[in-house]
Amino acid sequence: MAGDKKLRARERKLERLSPFQLKDRLIRLAQEEHERTMLNAGRGNPNWTAIAPRQAYFALGRFAVSESRRTFHEPGMGGHVSREGMLARFQVFRDQEPTDPGLAFLNDCLAYVKDELDLDTEAFLAEMAGAIIGSHYPSPDRILEQIEKVIHHYLIQEMCAGRPPEGRFDLFATEGGTAAMCYIFNSLSENKLLHKGDKIALGTPIFTPYLEIPHLNDYELIEVEVRGDEHNDWQTSSAELDKLADPAVKAFFLVNPSNPGSSAMQRSSLDYLARLIEDKRQDLIILTDDVYGTFVNGFHSLMQAAPHNTICVYSFSKYFGCTGWRLGVIAIHQDKVFDQKIAALPRADQEALVKRYGSVTLDAAHLGLIDRMVADSRSVALNHTAGLSTPQQAQMALFALQGLMDTEDRYKQTAQRVVGKRFDDLYQALGLGYTPNPNDAHYYTTIDVLEMGRAKYGREFADWLVAEFEPVDFVLRLAQERQVVLLPGAGFDAPDWSVRVSLANLPDEAYPEIGRQIVSLLDEYHHPWPAAG
């Protein structure tokens, strides 16, 4: 009800919550009405899965169990797999089930790693079989040796449009992109690259935890916004990027393609930022979360544009539909600024860090940042048990190999077509025009309800909405009255009256209905408007 002071006071309290915490309340409101199916587009968990690499995973598991049985003969027990002669045994195993699609995919993988990646086929197969059995601690703890080579090729293809910078990247396999972010923030702090009170820039709007983590008492960082333009497909202007020229800004964190804007940084902006770093800020730390990059053709990450300054995080969760697997990776170029910055720390800080990592290596002073992250992920003392579980690494490698072997991009085109159609259907139902843009991932979209109201009913109506209602009122009513759950854009530092819609997690037919319900609710706000009569 317009002007209800008590209601607005309650809603202002709710606006303090993270949108992901508010989501649970919205779901409960939506579930109060049992006659209509709830449409929850609040979370980006895709409703598809990649089949072929999963079929290969379970086929590999069967083969690995047969290998385990060869080396230990007590009842109910197997042993460690043995590399010697494994490739020949796999060929016999494969021929026994010639129509099994998983084994056929594995066979193609072995041919690909030999012919295209120039890997030792038997070494790769033995590592994969041992990984899926999971009978050893991860070794190396950062990522298994053969699997790192596969993932490296995949990242070069998908994050660098197949045109890598000179040199190589070191990889650290992690329990999804979120664990990667936790490890990175912690290690940047532990290694004195970020201090309490430092300024960091955030490419906003941005995934809510990146707004929240810097405020924790672990870090107490000061945020500087580098804002994307709502009216220019959420692109970042040169004037905004110029904020990074300030030497007081120690790091720049962004999601690319953005969340919730779902737009990749255009090439001209990437080049501008690369020049700014080269000319003015060779010490700048960049952290880029590129999980949605595979939804944009020819995507270019900052790991390509500014490789020596960039920590790249990639997660397999969205593209391959494997959020439950928790598969992520951190990539840092071998020629990087971070180790130089650590070496330039005051002597007292360097001595403290040598002491911190002295149990890991006798040359702690020269331990690279990515290996410090591995140690920090297990509080250093438990470094010997660090690393992503090896069965997870095996599945990650199979996902990557699907992307590498799919030279015609059939899977990519399908994934892009799925979210693209949902986007088109939603916008048609909203009655909103849209100019196609090659930078758009279409995994999410951000709808400015106030802009819709202004366009449909005029500026005075929009001003009245702002004066009489809290922005969160719209998503609360949408959930309670229409059984549609969306997240408030304000929680991502998007415009206050915007909502984020996930285009990944509901059936196609849900999105026109979501659009109709948004329009219908906006019309309902208009009915009691004093000027409407």
Tell me if residue 405 falls in helix, strand or coil.
helix
The CATH code belonging to domain 52-136 is 1.10.20.110
pLDDT for position 93: 97
From CA 360, how far away is CA 367, in angstroms rounded? 9
Coil/strand/helix, residue 173: strand
| CATH assignment, 5-44+410-532 | 3.90.1150.10
Q: Please, what sign has the CA dihedral across residues 305, 308, 313, 319?
A: positive
pLDDT (tens digit per residue) in 483-492: 999 999 999 9
Backbone angles phi, psi at 519, to 5 degrees: -65, -45
Residue 48 to residues 111, 273, 508, Cα–Cα distance (Å): 28, 35, 12
Return the amino acid letter for 164. Answer: P
Amino acid code (one letter) for 494: A
pTM of the entire structure? 0.94
Looking at residue 60, its pLDDT comes to 98
Q: Where are the domains of the chain?
A: 5-44+410-532, 52-136, 145-336+382-395
Neighbouring residues of 501: CB distance < 8 A, sequence distance ≥ 6: 41, 426, 444, 445, 446, 447, 486, 511, 514
Query: In terms of DSSP bridges, do strands 484-485 and 487-488 run parallel, antiparallel, or are they unpaired?
Result: unpaired
Residue 325 has a pLDDT of: 97
User: Can you give the pLDDT of all 533 residues of the chain as single tens digits?
Assistant: 566 777 777 777 877 777 777 777 777 877 876 556 788 988 889 999 999 999 999 999 999 999 999 999 899 999 999 999 999 999 999 999 999 999 999 999 999 999 999 999 999 999 999 999 999 999 999 999 999 999 999 999 999 998 899 999 999 999 999 999 999 999 999 999 999 999 999 999 998 888 888 888 889 999 999 999 999 999 999 999 999 999 999 999 999 999 999 999 999 999 999 999 999 999 999 999 999 999 999 999 999 999 999 999 999 999 999 999 999 999 999 999 999 999 999 999 999 999 999 999 999 999 999 999 999 999 999 999 999 999 999 999 999 999 999 999 999 999 999 999 999 999 999 999 888 999 999 999 999 999 999 999 999 999 999 999 999 999 999 999 999 999 999 999 999 999 999 999 999 999 999 999 999 999 999 988 877 65
pLDDT at 97: 94
Residue 433: CB atoms within 10 Å = 7
The whole-angstrom separation of Cα 41 and Cα 483 is 11
Architecture (CATH level 2) of domain 145-336+382-395: 3-Layer(aba) Sandwich (3.40)
| C-alpha span between 454 and 468 (Å, rounded) | 15
Reduce the DSSP state of residue 499 to 3 states and report it: strand
Tell me what pLDDT residue 43 has. Answer: 84
Q: Report the interhelical angle of 121-133 vs 52-70 (nearest 10°).
A: 90
